[in-house]
Amino acid sequence: MANHNEHLETLSEIRSMMERSSRFISLSGLSGVAAGSFALLGAAMVYIYLGLQPFSNYKIFYAEALRNGKWGIDYVTFFLLDAALVFVLAVASGIYFTTRKAKRKGQKVWDQSALRMLSNLAIPLIVGGIFCLVLYRERQILLIAPATLVFYGLALVNGSKFTLNDIRYLGLCEIGLGIIGLFFPGYGLELWAIGFGLLHIAYGLVMYRKYE
Partner 1 sequence: MKHLLEKLETTKLDNRIRLGIMSILMVNDWVDFGTFKEMLGLTDGNLASHMKVLESESYVEMRKLFVGRKPQTSYTATVLGRKAFNDHLAALEELLKSGS
Find the part of the chain contacting partner 1 (CB under 8 A) among 10-18, 59-67, 153-161, 168-176: 10-18
By CB under 8 A, tell whether 95 contacts partner 1: no
Query: Closest approach of Cβ 18 to partner 1, in Å?
Result: 5
By CB under 8 A, tell whether 81 contacts partner 1: no
Q: Which of 12, 13, 67, 69 binds partner 1 (CB under 8 A)?
A: 13
Binders in 96-135 for partner 1, by CB under 8 A? 108, 111-112
Total of residues contacting partner 1 (CB under 8 A): 17
Q: Which of 11, 84, 130, 179 binds partner 1 (CB under 8 A)?
A: 11
d(CA 145, CA 65): 15
d(CA 126, CA 209): 31
Residue 27: name the closest of 113, 101, 106 by CA. Answer: 101
Give the 3-state secondary structure percentages of the chain, helix then strand then coil, rounded to 5: 85, 0, 15
Residue 26: name the closest of 157, 115, 158, 87 by CA. Answer: 115
Buried b (16+ CB within 10 A) or exposed e, 154-167: bbbbbbbebbbebb
Helices marked H in 68-165 — which ranges?
75-104, 112-137, 141-159
Query: Closest approach of Cβ 17 to partner 1, in Å?
Result: 4
Q: Which of 12, 21, 77, 119 binds partner 1 (CB under 8 A)?
A: 21
Query: Closest approach of Cβ 162 to partner 1, in Å?
Result: 11
Write out the residues near partner 1 by the rule CB under 8 A.
1, 3-4, 7-8, 10-11, 13-14, 17-18, 20-22, 108, 111-112
